[in-house]
Amino acid sequence: MIYAYLYKKTRPIQRVKKYNIYMFEENISKFPISKQEFSRLKVFHNVCYESVIGYLLHSSIDEVEQGFVLIDPSKTDKKLVVLLEGKLEVHIDSIDGVLADYIEEGGCAGEMSIFDNCNPSAWVISSTKCKVLIISAPTTLAMLNASHDLCLNFLHLLSQRVRYSNKVLCEDQYHIRCIEQYSQIDTLTSLHNRRWLEEMYTRELKRSHAGDFRLCAFMIDIDFFKRINDTYGHLAGDVVLVEIARTLNESLRPSDMPVRFGGEEFSVFLPGTTSENAKVIAERIRANIEKKEIKLPSGAIVHVTVSIGFAEREKSDSVESLIGKADKALYQAKQHNRNRICMYVSKDETFLF
């Protein structure tokens, strides 16, 4: 009796170990996966097989067909799905919604809902015929309590998913910025379009008003553009528009703001520019376009001219009124034989160059 008492007091750990090993040997045929299968699963990397395998006695291995829904956010049952064979898909919004990710062999799904005790946030569907290990939420938590290495694996898994989500978010933001940028660009000439004009011209005009800075606006129209379309076709007209836009950019300063206003019309805001300087820039544009030889798809060479109207900002101007003044001056330039420049002076006065 004394010996038995001493043994119990001095060797309890060894006695429990012998009992666990005995239980492991007794139930080895009942475990859902072998030690070899266990060791190749990412979620169980470096985890001692004997330390957690007993928890899996009541877990199951299921074989599911392609398209089988393993995790459904509308259902409250929480479980860890470990993929043994095949491939899984993760969908957000709905079963047929956006494909967010794939889960390869050795990976798992469902751990988030177990950790935060909330319903799953995505659908997990078998992409092919799959073999999966299903572990209940209580069993998963018990295994985590029993193995520090398993906890580290889950932390590693979660950090990877956070990084992946951040990457997807950054890519989405980049694509949104690209879409926004492209939506403000005229696809033919690569100049900004009217949508960009409404935002940027308004901003520039407010800045000029606030600081009482000089600002001029151009309206530019290609002379007899309809003749080009009628004679050579619309593809030839597109070539002319592209060449005019290129020459316009080459003739302006980096701070100037050219826009394809619509059809064969262009507008430009010229920050920090007086009427005298605007006249010089307008003449440079007119002369550069006049001397340019434009080769059409048919091989024909054409010369085109432009008429330009411009106006300088006044304190009462809005974007619409300033462009409207430049447009009135453009009308006068076109009425007086085209290929010339006209400055808006007042409601009843313009000055032709």
User: Which are the catalytic amino acids?
Assistant: 264
Phi and psi torsions of 229, nearest 5°: -60, -45
CA distance 74 to 63: 22
CA distance 250 to 291: 14
Q: Residue 332 in contact with residue 350, Cβ under 8 Å?
A: yes
Q: Residue 25 in contact with residue 125, Cβ under 8 Å?
A: no
Q: Residue 191 in contact with residue 84, Cβ under 8 Å?
A: no
Q: Residue 127 in contact with residue 87, Cβ under 8 Å?
A: yes
Beta strand pairing call for 301-302 and 294-295: antiparallel
Q: Residue 112 in contact with residue 103, Cβ under 8 Å?
A: no
CA distance 351 to 333: 9
